[in-house]
């Protein structure tokens, strides 16, 4: 009978609640660790493929501060080159970023879908996608921006 009283006691309830809270806290830290690892891994892979990506390193390429990590899931800038499988954009830091396009990539101007053939060199565009091990971004969505978009400043050489 004493065992039965233990499972119904406040002490048992506190122990179970403590274990659940510990599990939730551990899970939250683990998710943060995985997100940070993915972000650092993308920046590392980009650095390894520096010459293949035809981009120059930023002024603090090898600093490990989070502010110097390259965006892994998107880029905005001016289209510098277009091929059948990729486009090259110049971003805010004036770095060239190659973006992979495939049959699943969607193209828009405002809310209207457009074909890949409507992209032209010199257009301003924003890209959303997923990081590849090669350090490039596989585009899921490319949206052309109006020429006078004030929220993005594209530097020209």
pLDDT in tens, 72-84: 678 888 999 999 9
Distance, CA of 135 to CA of 82 (rounded, Å):
18
Q: What domains sit in the chain, N to C, each tagged with a CATH number? A: 72-145 (2.40.50.320)
pLDDT tens digits along 94-116 = 888 889 999 999 999 988 999 99
Is 149 a residue whose pLDDT tops 80? no
pLDDT tens digits along 114-129 = 999 999 999 999 999 9
Q: How many CB atoms lie within 10 A of CB 142?
A: 25
Helical spans, DSSP H, in the chain: 2-7, 10-48
Q: pLDDT grade, residue 46 (50/70/90)?
A: low
Q: How far is C-alpha 106 from the geometric centre of its chain's CA atoms? A: 17
Q: pLDDT grade, residue 3 (50/70/90)?
A: low
Distance, CA of 93 to CA of 75 (rounded, Å):
11
Distance, CA of 90 to CA of 27 (rounded, Å):
38
What integer pLDDT is reported at residue 156 of this predicted model? Answer: 47
């Amino acid at each position: 009978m004493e065992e039965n009283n233990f499972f119904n006691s406040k002490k048992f309830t506190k122990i179970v609640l403590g274990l659940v809270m510990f599990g939730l806290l551990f899970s939250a830290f683990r998710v943060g660790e995985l997100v940070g690892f993915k972000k650092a891994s993308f920046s590392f892979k980009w650095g390894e493929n520096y010459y293949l990506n035809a981009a120059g390193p930023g002024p603090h390429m090898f600093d490990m501060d989070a502010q110097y990590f390259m965006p892994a899931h998107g880029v905005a800038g001016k289209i510098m080159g277009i091929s059948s499988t990729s486009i090259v954009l110049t971003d805010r830091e004036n770095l060239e970023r190659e973006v992979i396009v495939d049959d699943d990539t969607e193209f828009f101007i405002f809310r209207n879908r457009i074909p890949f053939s409507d992209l032209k060199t010199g257009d301003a565009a924003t890209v959303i996608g997923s990081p590849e091990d090669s350090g490039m971004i596989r585009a899921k969505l490319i949206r052309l921006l109006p020429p006078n978009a004030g929220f993005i400043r594209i530097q020209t050489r």
